[in-house]
Amino acid sequence: GPADLECDLLVLGAGPGGYSAAFRGADLGLKTVLVERFATLGGVCLNVGCIPSKALLHVAAVMDEVKHFESMGVTFAPPSVDLEKLRAHKSKVVGKLTGGLAAMAKMRKVTVVQGSGEFIDAYRLQVTKADGGTQTIGFKRAIIAAGSEAVKLPFLPKDDPRVVTSTGALELRQNPKRMLVIGGGIIGLEMGTVYSTLGARLDVVEMLDGLMQGADRDLVKVWQKMNAPRFDNILLKTKTVGAEATEGGIKVSFEGEGGVKEQTYDLVLQAVGRVPNGKRIGADKAGVEVGERGFISVDIQMRTSVAHIFAIGDIVGQPMLAHKAVHEAHVAAEVAAGELLGDDHLAKAAFDARVIPSVAYTDPEVAWVGVTEDDAKARGLNVKKSVFPWSASGRAIANGRDEGFTKLLFDADTHQIVGGAIVGTHAGDMIGEVALAIEMGADAVDIGKTIHPHPTLGESLGMAAEAFEGACTDLP
Ligand code: FAD
């Protein structure tokens, strides 16, 4: 039947993937509709992810940083925190960004439809509004950007405010004395950092044998040494097997090498991963294949099993990161526009990023991109590393924060850079340069001879590259 609204490009979900796709599509001249179930644009990242977490982490980092000043002869009064005001600050930050997106959508004449969307066939989507009313949207091309949500462990008490995912933790409704973080990945450790700086004692439990999987162990070691004071227990190779809500707290049981243990907490954060929303969008009605776990597979043009329907962002797989979603979004929108407008160049757009950086915005930050040392060993790659310790960085020493280091990995034959990792303050702001160097096929000389400003932390990248020629170390 006829649709209530017709468009060239329909985008389902308004996270970093969805809004980027819609904006690019509209800029290229497509009549674009963006469907979002929530009242604000921005998805997980802006509303309950990247942005609010960084607003709180910045406050925590400053509160922690002043402690380093004591040895410099500068002391501050202990901070007092007004949680309500901090919450208001965080909401203001989020509001500024999501409001900005709404204005940009309007400026580009992207039609935003609020409601929950489901495909009814390969050319129509039905949107159910909050009031129960429905609207059918017909499209020529669609981009699925429905994202992911936090995994909820089945044995944890439900509807208990003392058990949260990152979304609940970001609401900052609790002021726990003892907090458990289940899952030692980036999200868990970031949220744990915030609560610990605000006064909680932390336990973290991780099934694998180390925190922050994906990063090389030498970086994590530095992070762990600096963060040891936050923790009562770091439980590795340990499973959370049960939990019970009691008046005194959430009583959690763990199973590890030493048998079963129990501890009671005021707040339990489950940060054990995210599941894609692929199974809740009626994909089958459009003929789009969805994998068992809810991921949608795509080709390098971000096409699903149905040629005129694309998928991007968390819903297409790891790494579940906003910057990946944005780049995939641009590819999908360009291919769609290229086909509809008969522009062969656009129609050939493809996602061919060599590398995607990862950052833990903790204190210190941990950032890495491309091949890691652990990777290289596992894959038997012939790479050599060069490390520049920040104990030799003028700026890091002047900052009183010289615990970090910068590590670069080069192909042993070509000396081209294949990976890099940084642990230290502002590591995340510097890792983009390594990504650029890898994308451009730079070698150690290119980076080493590039004049970096002195004295900066970024200079450590040039120093590590310069050290490579003279004093490279073989991987053990
Ligand atoms: P999402 O942001 O998940 O957006 C999907 C949107 O689709 C949502 O708004 C959802 O409401 C909507 N939707 C879903 N189904 C429907 C439907 N049927 N109808 C209508 N609308 C629908 N990444 C980083 O790169 N850096 C970080 O620092 C970072 N920090 C994070 C911190 C936390 C606490 C969390 C949870 C995540 C963080 N991430 C970070 C990950 C990042 O948020 C995601 O990778 C990113 O949001 C994915 O974008 P997306 O567009 O694929 O989907």
Render pLDDT for 230-269 as a digit per residue (tens, 0 to 9): 999 999 999 999 999 999 999 999 999 878 899 999 999 9
Catalytic site includes residue 454: yes
Q: Which amino acid is at 33?
A: V
Instruction: Give the pairing type, strands 5-12 and 32-36.
Output: parallel
pLDDT at 259: 85
Q: Which amino acid is at 18?
A: G
pLDDT in tens, 113-127: 999 999 999 999 999
pLDDT at 471: 46
- 47 within ligand 1 shell (Cβ under 6 A): no
Query: What DSSP element (H or E) covers 204?
Result: strand 201-205
pLDDT in tens, 6-52: 999 999 999 999 999 999 999 999 999 999 999 999 999 999 999 99
- For residues 61 and 68, give the distance between their C-alpha atoms in angstroms, rounded to a whole number: 11
- 126 within ligand 1 shell (Cβ under 6 A): no
- For residues 36 and 112, give the distance between their C-alpha atoms in angstroms, rounded to a whole number: 7
- For residues 146 and 119, give the distance between their C-alpha atoms in angstroms, rounded to a whole number: 12
- 332 within ligand 1 shell (Cβ under 6 A): no
Q: What is the DSSP letter of 170?
A: H
What's the gap in Å between 229 CA and the centre of ligand 1? 32
- 459 within ligand 1 shell (Cβ under 6 A): no
Predicted ipTM? Answer: 0.99
pLDDT above 80 for 474: no
| Pocket residue to mutate for ligand 1, from 50, 127, 285, most atoms within 8 A of Cβ | 50
DSSP states of 90-130: HHHHHHHHHHHHHHHHHHTTPEEEESEEEEEETTEEEEE-T
Residues, the chain: 476
Choice among 68, 308, 415, 454 that is catalytic: 454
| Pocket residue to mutate for ligand 1, from 38, 45, 191, 270, most atoms within 8 A of Cβ | 45
What's the gap in Å between 295 CA and the centre of ligand 1? 14
What's the gap in Å between 19 CA and the centre of ligand 1? 11
- The residue nearest atom 6 of ligand 1, judged by CA position, is 13
What's the gap in Å between 49 CA and the centre of ligand 1? 7
- The residue nearest atom 28 of ligand 1, judged by CA position, is 50
Collapsed DSSP state (helix, strand, coil) of residue 141: strand
- 50 within ligand 1 shell (Cβ under 6 A): yes
pLDDT in tens, 142-174: 999 999 999 999 999 999 999 999 999 999 999
Collapsed DSSP state (helix, strand, coil) of residue 387: strand
pLDDT above 80 for 421: yes
Q: How many CB atoms lie within 10 A of CB 313?
A: 33
396-401: average pLDDT: 96
DSSP states of 308-355: TEEE-GGGG-SS--HHHHHHHHHHHHHHHHHHHHT-HHHHT-----S-
470 — pLDDT class (breaks 50, 70, 90): low
Spatial strand order of the sheet with 473-474 comes to 358-360, 365-370, 417-424, 405-411, 383-389, 473-474
pLDDT at 450: 95
- The residue nearest atom 37 of ligand 1, judged by CA position, is 49
pLDDT above 70 for 472: no
- For residues 88 and 68, give the distance between their C-alpha atoms in angstroms, rounded to a whole number: 28
Cis amide prior to 476 (ω within 30 degrees) = no
Q: Which two tokens stand for residue 403?
A: 């615990």
- 10 within ligand 1 shell (Cβ under 6 A): no
What's the gap in Å between 91 CA and the centre of ligand 1? 17
334-352: average pLDDT: 98
- For residues 12 and 21, give the distance between their C-alpha atoms in angstroms, rounded to a whole number: 10
Mean pLDDT of the chain: 96
What's the gap in Å between 315 CA and the centre of ligand 1? 9
- For residues 86 and 171, give the distance between their C-alpha atoms in angstroms, rounded to a whole number: 10
75-104: average pLDDT: 97
341-369: average pLDDT: 98
18 Cα nearest atom in ligand 1: 51
97-111: average pLDDT: 98
